[in-house]
Amino acid sequence: MFVLLAAGCGGTVTVQKAACVDDEGCLGSERCVAGLCQAATAATCDTDEDCAVEQGELCRDGTCTSAPTAAPDSCTDTSDCPVTDFCNTATSACEPLHAGFCRLDGQCPETAPVCDTPSPSQPGRCVECRDDADCNGAVCGQGGVCVGEGTTVECPEHASLVPGSTTVCQCDPGYLPDVTTATCVAQEAGDPGTGTPPPDTSTCVPHASPVPGIPGQCRCDTGYEPSTDGSSCVPLPGTTPPPPPPPPPPDDGGGGGGGGGGGGDTGDDCGPNAIPVFFLCVCLPGYVVNDGGTGCIAESQSGGGSGGGGDCPPNSTLEGDGYCYCDPGFVVDSSGTQCVQDECAELGYYGDGYYCDDFCPQPDPDCY
């Protein structure tokens, strides 16, 4: 943006650069540099990774530009806000980053100097490492923590190493993990498993497996880590989840259950949530034979899904692959056998106080 100043007859014409606060105050071919609109010299880009993200540059309209220096009246994405803020999509306003969160490495403390985000357009958490290159010869382990090769980690009180491992700890019997403090706390009356036999393998949440030698305790599978509230296992940042297990045999309306249900003549006509084993239909872990002996339902349910014809638990629907899936607005609970109200469906916005976006279910537009 230029202002032309004409002098009197025979005078000269000077060009005065316009003042600006950010790039939006300049012409499309200009950038705001040191408070003045300058001709753009930045390279074109397709994604933020094409820009100097370590300096806070973002790819906007095909050009690498610096993040805004002042918060706009409203926002739809964190890239609309200064690098010290994030866009709270619940209020459409830029707000300061929460403690422990970041958009640039320089915002993190020495003890956790790496911002675990692929781009300043997204908020992340401060961690020790994102990959092995950040660990000076050690290995970047679960949760962004550097673990030295050949060394043994020190477990917290009331915990011990998983047999055969030098880096993974598990809580002792009678104690439960507290993910917010990374400690093991005493199991109180009313906690799952108190006064009852340890749960079997069917009680592990999806993408988790029982801990060898410690009945009733589960740990996340390779490539996953505990969610913020410890109720599920979520993919590690930057990893691709493994493919889902193969679906059970096609459902033709039959299907019994192990220990009481019968199979068909060929042994391969089992219904959903069951598999054929030698001419008998056996319910999958977490499912039992229904009252009519015609199919497998969740252990804690008596039947009646919203679309499962009695073979799916409430608030779930039988899909074409033979599995029961939770209806919109519902998620699988920690037992893996029921569909419960998903508070993230209404409250899943980064910065609203609910840590539902780890990172993160829609409708939060900050999630990719």
Tens digits of residue pLDDT in 190-238: 454 444 444 444 467 787 777 665 556 677 777 777 776 667 788 877 6
Residue 300 has pLDDT above 70, yes or no: no
> Could you tell me how far CA 365 lies from the centroid of its own chain?
14
Distance between CA atoms of residues 220 and 204, nearest Å: 9
Domain residue extents for the chain: 16-67, 206-236, 269-301, 310-367
Q: Over the stretch 41-81, which tens digit does the pLDDT of each residue have?
A: 656 677 777 787 777 778 877 778 788 888 888 898 888 88
Count other C-beta atoms under 10 Å from residue 335's C-beta: 17
Give the position of tokens 């089992």.
270
The C-alpha atoms of residue 241 and residue 235 are separated, in whole angstroms, by 6
pLDDT, residue 187, reads 76
Mean pLDDT of 171-197: 64
In this prediction, residue 134 carries a pLDDT of 84
For residues 314 and 7, which has the higher predicted lDDT (pLDDT)? 314
Q: Which residue has the tokens 């008998």?
A: 280
pLDDT computed for residue 53 by the predictor? 73
For the record, the structure tokens of 292 come out as 């009519």
Show the 3-state SS of 250-300. Answer: CCCCCCCCCCCCCCCCCCCCCCCCEEEECCEEEECCCEEECCCCCCEEECC
HSE, side-chain direction, 13 A CA sphere, residue 278:
1
pLDDT at 14 over 80: no
% the chain with pLDDT above 70: 53
Q: How far apart are CA 217 and CA 208, in angstroms?
A: 10
The CA-based dihedral angle spanning residues 286, 292, 294, 298, taken in that order and rounded to the nearest 10 degrees: -20
Classify 85 as helix, strand or coil.
strand
What are 120-131's pLDDT values in tens digits? 888 888 888 888
Fold of 16-67: Herpes Virus-1 (3.30.40)
Three-class SS state of 318: strand
**Mean predicted confidence (pLDDT) in 275-279:** 62
pLDDT band, very low/low/confident/very high, at 1 (cuts 50, 70, 90): very low
Question: CA-to-CA distance for 310 and 304, rounded, in angstroms?
Answer: 4
Residue 64 main-chain phi, psi, to 5 deg: -75, 120
Q: What is the pLDDT of residue 278?
A: 57
> Both tokens of residue 61?
């309209």
The pLDDT, as a whole number, for residue 267 is 38
